[in-house]
């Protein structure tokens, strides 16, 4: 049974105003029109819509809460969660290439496949990778038993494949010159090549100072 409270990231005693506030925020973030109609955002947006339509209606919410409570009572909460299988049809893929993943869990009432979100305890998903990070795309399966507060995690790493060495070199160069996320060490989000050059300069200066001190 889907946990709509989990979908919206709220507690079961959340007020109507809290539900509306969270819905507005999430619907703007995941709206397909703002995310180039990406399948991931479209699926997440539908989940948010479904959760809001149920929880914003007092009668539907009451019935849902009763069903959720009944489901939780019938669930075997005394057994830790487990991941039976989590596989992908390929671990090397090109951008835009179709990937199929499948999974099966047991004794878990909350199941997530990241970066996609909440899923059924078992299933299959077909998707295309539009972007790799450092030549890799990470998938994580989380299976949680919420009463025991136990979670098991399993990952799959898909590495980027290239038609030839020229394409791989081009991709590497583009990655070196692409602006990076801002961090404490890189406050201005400078490309990797700039940070590398600064590192070399500082190393040369340090070697020069050390050499002069030894003379």
Query: How many other CB atoms are there within 10 angstroms of residue 51's CB atom?
Result: 24
- As for how many domains the chain has, the answer is 2
Residue 155 lies in a domain: yes
Residue 201 lies in a domain: no
Distance CA 49, CA 45 (A): 6
Q: Print pLDDT tens along the chain (215 aa).
A: 678 887 788 888 899 999 999 999 988 888 878 777 677 778 788 888 999 999 999 999 999 988 887 776 665 557 889 999 999 999 999 988 999 999 999 888 889 999 988 888 888 999 999 889 888 999 999 998 877 788 999 999 999 987 665 555 566 667 767 777 777 777 777 777 777 888 888 888 888 778 777 76
Residue 208 lies in a domain: no
Q: Residue 51's closest CA among 108, 10, 17, 111?
A: 10
Residue 209 lies in a domain: no
pTM, two decimals, is 0.52
Residue 107 lies in a domain: yes
Both 48 and 88 in one domain: the answer is: no
Q: Which two tokens stand for residue 165?
A: 């060495």
Burial class from Cβ neighbours inside 10 Å (0-12, 13-18, 19+) for residue 151 reads middle
Last residue of a domain, one of 74, 96, 131: 74
Q: What three-state secondary structure class fits 195? A: helix
Which CATH number characterizes residue 127's domain?
2.60.40.2470
Query: Which domain does 113 fall in, by range?
Result: 82-162
């Amino acid at each position: 049974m889907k946990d709509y409270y989990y979908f919206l990231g709220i507690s079961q005693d959340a007020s109507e105003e809290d539900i509306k506030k969270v819905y507005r925020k999430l619907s703007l973030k995941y709206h397909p029109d703002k995310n180039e109609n990406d399948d991931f955002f479209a699926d997440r947006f539908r989940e948010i819509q479904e959760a809001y339509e149920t929880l914003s209606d007092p009668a539907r919410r009451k019935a849902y809460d009763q069903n959720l409570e009944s489901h939780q009572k019938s669930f075997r909460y005394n057994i830790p969660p487990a991941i039976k299988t989590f596989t992908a049809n390929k671990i090397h893929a090109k951008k835009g290439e179709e990937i199929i993943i499948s999974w099966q869990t047991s004794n878990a009432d909350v199941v997530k496949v990241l970066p996609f979100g909440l899923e059924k305890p078992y299933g299959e998903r077909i998707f295309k990778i539009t972007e790799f990070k450092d030549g890799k795309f990470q998938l994580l399966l989380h299976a949680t038993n919420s009463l025991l507060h136990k979670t098991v995690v399993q990952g799959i790493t898909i590495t980027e494949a290239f038609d030839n060495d020229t394409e791989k070199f081009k991709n590497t160069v583009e990655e070196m010159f692409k602006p990076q996320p801002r961090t404490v060490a890189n406050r201005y989000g400078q490309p990797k090549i700039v940070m590398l050059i600064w590192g070399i300069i500082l190393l040369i200066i340090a070697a020069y100072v050390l050499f002069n001190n030894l003379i």
